[in-house]
Amino acid sequence: MNTEALIFMLVSEGIIAATTIYFFVKVLRSKKQFNEKDNHSEAS
């Protein structure tokens, strides 16, 4: 691969992979209660 293509690919994919992992891990580690509703459980 030529250098320009390699740089573009690594930078783009690096940013996307790092950001996705960051947000996903944050979701997984969240201790906040989810769907803590004043309402309903699935019934029907």
> Which spans of this chain sit near other proteins (rule: CB under 8 A)?
1-2, 4-6, 8-9, 12-13, 16-17, 19-20, 23-24, 26-28, 30, 32-44
- Is the backbone of residue 35 left (phi > 0), alpha (psi -120 to 50) or beta? left
Task: Classify residue 24 by burial, with Cβ atoms within 10 Å: 0-12, 13-18, 19+.
Answer: exposed
Q: How far is the CB of 37 from other proteins (least distance, A)?
A: 4
Q: How far is the CB of 4 from other proteins (least distance, A)?
A: 6
Q: How far is the CB of 3 from other proteins (least distance, A)?
A: 10
